[in-house]
């Protein structure tokens, strides 16, 4: 088996790469270990909590015991399915703040500033404003990825935005446009009532071409011959030869794992597992970052939350309506209002994100005893904590060791206490007076720094945004793994494009920047680039002296 390009991983970036490379006329083979994404658990947006917890669709990774969280092991779901994590995620669509990408460029990712990446965000999307306003000139009109907004019919969605305004914060009618900062509608990768994953947007159209095929296999390593990546070796000994290049898009956990298994990484670490280092790259697997979040839950004084559908009969009705018409509550992820705010004066751009949900529910799908309620998911965006992905053994079938080192800085604790106190203030505004009964979680008696720290330690959860483990930087940077053209430093014919190359985690959910990375890397491979944008994003005029 051989092709011009071999793409490892049919996830967010890999599907976009396959589409663009096949569009150029080159032959493309996409290698994916996971199975089909067909079926209501994946395609129905409101069923999003199911695939993430199903062995069929998820690699089932967990972190090592986290020393600063009392030894808890946190779930690290990664999509093992066509579409990768875009087939099991919450479908929230956030490009990130303009400053995120300017920071990338300052960190050595030349050519990845906001001016450089905005044209790729525009190329990849077809944006539907749903009559809710927004910044049309900042958005895309003809891309494969459909981006929509939920109907926002529940009055709690508006109450959240109005409460933000009453608390003195900005409003924004398009956080993916000119102005991220503020409260406003949330966007989702849903199209005609279905999850619009990278598989639906990119891979299915690509596979309709004669020159693009999908191979089901578990890649064990990349074969490197005389300094050049020549083939991928799959379980069972199958070799797939790349005539031009191999592109690794296996995600922020499996991409570094595959590099390490192939002898590309810290030589001393590899030697412990009896793996010969072809290339000594100390940065492989390091710089692991993520977002953590908490949810603050309020009991509702009115029976208007989604809890009224939390029964077998209602779920069956919603499911049936969705199956036959792709409409109704099943057609939204239910995250329909959002906010991005700054934690303090002197912070130039938002560092706290909110997802608002008109129901009180845990990650494992359990509703609290209070019944009717609602919650705000909140967390800081730029934690200084860094972790690593390492091999547990030389066996390619073994799960890697994932150590996030969550909450390893005092700043993490300060930031989370700030998040809780600011959220309480928002829920105390007049807009919520008709709806708030009492605080379920953390509970009104949890007030001091120590009490809040205890709550944080016990309840903080990953927002599932791992990235940074194969950092992009200049070729002479010893800790960089790929250069700004996504080429793995020290190996010819090998590129890497997915969220593992992010120098720093972006402001928000990672699906949009991951797809953008695939789009932009495809252009680097094909030797072309879109002209830079000269759009100027909004920054609070008094950010130095005002928090809001």
Annotated binding-site residues for FAD read: 81, 89-92, 219
Catalytic residue chosen out of the listed positions 33, 99, 355, 465: 465
Task: Enumerate the known binding-site residues.
Answer: 81, 89-92, 219
Which of 283, 269, 175 has the alpha carbon at shortest distance from 508?
175
Q: Is 540 helix (H, G, I), strand (E, B) or coil?
A: coil
Query: Residue 272 is inside which H or E element, if any?
Result: helix 267-272
Determine whether 365 is exposed, middle or buried from the number of CB atoms within 10 Å of its CB (0-12, 13-18, 19+).
exposed
Per-residue b or e along 473-483, where b marks 16 or more CB atoms closer than 10 Å to that residue's CB: beeebeebbbb
465 has catalytic annotation: yes
DSSP at 87: G
Determine whether 42 is exposed, middle or buried from the number of CB atoms within 10 Å of its CB (0-12, 13-18, 19+).
buried
Pairing of strands 145-149, 187-188: antiparallel
How far is CA 152 from each of CA 336, 427, 442, rounded to the nearest angstrom? Answer: 6, 18, 27
What is the C-alpha separation between 371 and 302, in angstroms, rounded?
A: 11
Task: Please give the structure tokens belonging to residue 282.
Answer: 């100390």
| DSSP codes, 110-159 | TT-SHHHHHHHHHHHEEE--TTS---GGGS-SS-SEEEEE----SHHHHH
Which spans in 193-234 are helix H?
Answer: 198, 204-207
What is the C-alpha separation between 200 and 128, in angstroms, rounded?
A: 17
Per the CB < 8 A criterion, the answer to whether 183 and 206 are in contact is: no
What is the C-alpha separation between 320 and 289, in angstroms, rounded?
A: 40
Where in the sequence numbering do the catalytic residues fall? 465
């Amino acid at each position: 088996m051989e092709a011009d390009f071999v793409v490892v991983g049919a996830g967010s970036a890999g599907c976009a790469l396959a589409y663009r490379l096949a569009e150029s006329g080159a032959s493309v083979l996409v290698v994916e270990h996971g199975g089909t994404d067909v079926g209501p658990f994946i395609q129905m947006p409101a069923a999003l909590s199911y695939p993430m917890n199903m062995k069929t669709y998820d690699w089932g990774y967990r972190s090592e015991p986290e020393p600063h969280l009392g030894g808890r092991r946190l779930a690290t779901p990664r999509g093992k399915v066509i579409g990768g994590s875009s087939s099991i995620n919450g479908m929230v669509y956030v490009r990130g703040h303009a400053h995120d990408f300017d920071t990338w460029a300052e960190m050595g990712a030349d050519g990845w500033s906001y001016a450089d990446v905005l044209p790729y965000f525009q190329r990849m999307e077809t944006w539907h404003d749903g009559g809710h306003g927004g910044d049309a000139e900042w958005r895309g009109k003809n891309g494969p990825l459909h981006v929509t907004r939920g109907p926002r019919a529940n009055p709690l969605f508006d109450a959240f935005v109005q409460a933000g305004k009453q608390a003195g914060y900005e409003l924004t009618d398009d956080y993916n446009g000119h102005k991220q900062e503020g409260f406003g509608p949330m966007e989702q990768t849903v199209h005609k009532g279905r999850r619009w994953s990278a598989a639906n947007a990119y891979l299915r159209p690509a596979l309709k071409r004669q020159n693009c095929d999908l191979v089901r296999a578990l890649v064990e390593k990349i074969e490197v011959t005389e300094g050049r990546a020549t083939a991928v070796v799959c379980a069972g000994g199958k070799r797939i030869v790349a005539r031009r290049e191999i592109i690794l898009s296996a995600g922020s956990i499996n991409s570094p794992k595959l590099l390490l298994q192939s002898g590309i990484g810290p030589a001393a670490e590899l030697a412990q597992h009896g793996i010969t280092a072809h290339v000594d790259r100390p940065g492989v697997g390091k710089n692991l970052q993520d977002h953590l979040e908490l949810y603050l839950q309020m009991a509702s004084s009115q029976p208007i939350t989604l809890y009224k559908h939390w029964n077998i009969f209602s779920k069956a009705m919603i499911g049936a309506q969705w199956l036959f018409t792709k409409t109704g509550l099943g057609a939204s992820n239910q995250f329909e209002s959002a906010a991005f705010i700054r934690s303090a004066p002197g912070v130039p751009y938002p560092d706290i994100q909110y997802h608002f949900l008109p129901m009180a529910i845990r990650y494992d799908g359990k509703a609290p005893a209070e019944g009717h309620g609602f919650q705000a998911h909140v967390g800081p965006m730029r934690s200084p904590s860094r972790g690593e992905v390492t091999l547990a053994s030389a066996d390619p079938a073994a799960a890697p060791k994932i150590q996030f080192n969550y909450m390893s800085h005092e700043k993490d604790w300060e930031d989370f206490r700030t998040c809780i106190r600011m959220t309480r203030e928002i829920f105390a505004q007049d807009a919520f007076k008709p709806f708030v009964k009492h605080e379920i979680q953390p509970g009104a008696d949890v007030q001091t720094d120590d009490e809040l720290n205890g709550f944080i330690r016990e309840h903080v959860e990953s927002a599932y945004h791992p990235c940074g483990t194969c950092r992009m930087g200049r070729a002479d940077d010893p800790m960089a793994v790929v250069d700004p053209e996504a080429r793995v430093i020290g190996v010819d014919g090998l590129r890497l494009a997915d969220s593992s190359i992010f120098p720093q985690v972006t402001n928000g959910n990672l699906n949009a920047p991951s797809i953008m990375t695939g789009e932009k890397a495809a252009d680097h491979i094909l030797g072309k680039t879109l002209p830079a944008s000269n759009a100027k994003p909004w920054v609070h005029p008094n950010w130095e002296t005002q928090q809001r």
